[in-house]
A and B are shown apart, each in its own frame.
Chain A
Amino acid sequence: MSKKPIRFRDVARPGNDPLVSLDAQTLMKLDPLEEQPVPRTPRPAWLETYDFSLDGFSDFDRPRPKTLEEQERFVQAFLSGLEKLFDPRNNWTFLKALKLSLDYCLRCQTCSESCHVYLASGKQEIYRPTFRSEVLRRIYQRHFTASGRWLGSFLGADIELNFNTVWRLLEMSYRCNLCRRCAMVCPVGIDNALLAREIRKLFSQELGIAPAELFRKGSRKHLEAGSSTGMTPAGFRDSIESIEEIIAEKTGRKVKVPVDKKGAEVLLIHNAGEFLSWPENPAAFSILFDAAGVDYTLSSDLLGYDAVNYGVWFDDLELGRVALRHVEIARKLGVRKIVVGECGHAHKALCVVADRVLPGNLSLSEVPRESCLPLLRDIVKSGVLRLDPKRNDFPVTLHDSCNVVRLMGIVRPQREILQAVCAQPLREMTPHGVWNYCCGGGGGFAIMDTLNFSEWRNAVSVRMKVKQVLDVFKDVLDPGTRKYVVAACSNCKGAMRGAIAHYGLKDKFGIGYGGLADLIVNAMSDLPRPYIEWDQER
């Protein structure tokens, strides 16, 4: 990337020329990969229609306003949204955190190098956790505070507000994975990832602008069709038949997957993407729960078979709508609690964040929501399964989902499982646990593929995780040695899948990936053959 110093006033620079342009030479090095992929610039036809003025990448196939009047309306709508962001009725959900983070940042930059995007980009200024926050802060001060109006540039509140400023701010909010690693290190507790999410929220809730994959093809499809994958209840029931066939084929066992079983102990909700992309994962859950005698059910109700909640990335109302329906389904079935399958953001949304947008009778105290990981740990440790770790005699590393470790504090169960089911000691990445780096797919990035956004994701966002994986396997990089990256999260798996394909990690180094439940089943000594099939896409 170019290293010409960026100034805040550059954010208002008119035109479609990016503030920075990718240069493979300055991206963080990925030893031992020799050739650094060079992202392509936007297609000429795209440049005529869409805005790439931040860094030459975008997920928004929304035509640039053609006239000054359209641009002005856009800016005014943004200001209207910004005002509502600070209104206790419209933004009671996060106003306190927003105010604190906007008003009390000391600009010490302690958070800078906690951000994997900033580091992977070669420390590009626009990706620094504080850069977009500072733009937001300066606009807010200038337009909504008396001190900003009177003192202006003395406070730093001197950014010109035009279409380019607003659009680049939108794009910047989608250069943050919302992993919140920056919030861990801030001496004042400022949360720059929250500010990125608040910017996203402003655009979604006021201007109706959000990545298609998150809204139109995401939360809306989820609420209307039942799943962000488009899977309908009928489609779900078909996929359950497929799951039972997979189980029979792989294990020789006839396992009936319970669906809509009233009064079961547990409602298990998977990310529906698993049924389509990694069906062996929900199949593994059914094998394990069947073997352990867990009294559970899946749901075929609209939304009941898809745990995702994309609102947690960009829209509080969509977050509440999805969560409410999830918990109401549990009430309807009369289960005692919900257990969330291997999906990180669904963990955080359902078990933590959404608790305070639900009415009292759906509180966590009334309908508990738990992670699948402690339950899997207890099953493994109970001795009810016949496990032979030698079946998993290959190097294994664990990618921690940010949502599960840093944002929920679930760190040990997955490690205790791996200790019990793997022959070789777990290879911990540096850093790991709550200090992990995001897979690069967090905040919705794993599913965002409009225009050339995926090229940015592959070049920058997943880069740190690729480095960690290469580092942790550096003594066994021979492609003849199969290696397994455990990712107990659908979005993390999606990001790993993309990274492995983009950097050729499977062909060059024999690096594959998969879920945690799959690995447990692979260690079951009473199965006729290995559960994990290395020649599949993984």
Chain B
Amino acid sequence: MVPGTRRASAATRLGVGVELLYAIDRPLEGGEAIDRSGRMTVDMAEATLEEFARLSEERSRLAQAQGRLILDQAASWVRAAGVETVRERLVFGGLVDNLRDHEVDARLIVVGKRGEAENQAAAHLGSNLERVVRASHHPVLIVPPEQRPLRRFVVAYDGGPSSTKVIDILTQEPLLLDAECHLLMVSAADAEHRSRLAAATARLRDAGYSVNEVLTPGQADKVILATVRDTDADLLVMGAYGHARIRTLIIGSTTTALLRASMVPVLVVR
């Protein structure tokens, strides 16, 4: 589900183990079982249940075997990249619901930008991605299929609660410490914004980062993408979904727009 080496490099930096989670989203009972005769049969509930069980048994077994294979392959990649503790976890149900149950003791969640059907619509996000980001309480790293070493990263900072959380996480976790940080704030260059940005810069520098301050006015998603491109950054770090869901529904979300457009990995902090 995830390019193993990327995951592994994050893990070695954090000094933690990796848990590989593969969720078998159970499909509906097969088409061949469908009976539209509308007839009530003798002991229909039991009979129907047995029929369904018979039909889904074989399918579940195959799905499990497939899931195991995928996990084993991923685990061998992760191990090859130098991570010692690798746990495999095969579960039934939606990825998002399972993630919520499994993420309790996780420090970072890594997902691929797009799944199996990635080539179908290049600008679309994977079906799980946005839901994972919304559901997770931990930082989520979204990786595109292409790999690149991490030298520089851009932090999109707006002074709001979720981007303050970004700074908190960066100061707590050693993940990005040896990369060069560009702290970007998209807003008018007034005194208040300047002082907020300076405060965040100070916190990061205290934590040992080498920080480059950038304050640019403009439309958030465009400026952020341009900065990533201009600085040749390898990673974008940002807070996620700072606005109410209803506002997001109507005018769209900067987070989703960035996730979609970014060509580099994105680390999203909620």
Q: Do A and B bind each other?
A: no
Residues of A within 8 A of B (CB): none
